[in-house]
Structure 1
Amino acid sequence: MVKKLFQTLTLKHKKEIIDKLNTTSKTRLASNYNCHVSTIYRLIANKENLCSQFLRNKPPTTKRFRMSCYPKTEAALLVWFTQMRSKNCSLNGPVMLEKAMFFSQTFNKGIPTSSWLQRFRKRQNINFHNVCNEKGSADIINANEWSRNTLPSLIKDYQRSNIYNCDETGLYYRALPKGTMEFSGTQPLGFKPDKEKVTVLFIIDGDGSDKKLYVLGKFKNPRCFKNKKLPVKYYSNKSSWMTTSTFEDILKEWDSSLKKKILLFCDNASCHKTKLTFNNIKLIFLPANTTSLI
């Protein structure tokens, strides 16, 4: 006689069985869900716990619930997470792990790791959602043609250490992450980003041996700079974005200190368009809409 194999019920199946108890017999339910009738009785005895797990947004595909090695930390983190999301605060993995470590130190119970946080998210059915998204389009054909036909002739007479690339980025130092952790099945609300920023210009050579960094801010003499010696060169203007005059000042100062001939690549932004000529810097502009590819 072959022993019948029963399936392991998921939380969704268990909830369905509990909902059907008043209209369907226990034997019929056991047959329909391919489980032993004793399983139905255990579900009845554990009815309140199962319903609370379903209400707490536990993953419906979960079959077995494993206890956390830091139950107090997990309980505190879940309460904190729920409170923060009710205020529409943006949360990511590093922020949650930092808070978990704080709670763990409070309870003097171990040190949570990123793998523990992953299991916590799985147990609580928490996923990462992007709340704002921008997708750029680049000119792939033009980028490939330029890289294949133009670039080799430009760099053939230069060593890698004499080929530089420069680019700016806006450092929104007060901005929240673009996405947040949230319970599965819930669509998080977006929020207006904080636009307070500084612009950072990076200039780096081909082999990474020479790295330069410049910062542009909105204020000429920020209060936090008082009695401080800055580790980087700082410029300012009302918009805190790069301007042609600032870009020229940076290149002129750098050109005067150079003792070699270099090739400098940059995008064709209007602030980079200068009519100046330099003794040691040969400025090359990348084709429009190809910077991210080249």
Structure 2
Amino acid sequence: MSVNTRRGLSLSDKIDILEKYDYLPKMRQGEAASKLNLSQSVLGRIFKNREDIECEALKNESQSRKRNRCGKDDTMGGSIGRKKKKIFLSKKTHEKQGDADLAGAHFWLENEWPSLISKYSPSDVFNADETGLYFKALP
């Protein structure tokens, strides 16, 4: 750990720093930070959050995690959350899909397709099954 490098410390790194600090003789925080190869602000931040760090370590949180990220509202409470929950619960899921209707597809290809294709010249017919459609893209 170098003083001048800027990197995130994992939970295990922070616990290790706290343990090493506890074994150091009594000294100023700046001196302790230089002995531990940290900046004083990083060491101060670790001390400020010491209780949280130790609690997370005891709860068997991920030791390699560097940041604790969560949303603005972890529980998604309130009226908006309840409305969204009702919407999601009331949506019907599709049942198991059956096989394709090959007979119907064959009938359409034999009877409907010739009348549709007769309106166009062969140079105006394209295979577009692998073509991306960017209808909002400017030319």
Normalised by the size of structure 1, how large is the TM-score?
0.23
Larger radius of gyration: 2
Q: Larger % of strand: which?
A: 1
Structure with more of its chain in helix, by fraction: 2
Give the structure-2-normalised TM-score: 0.45
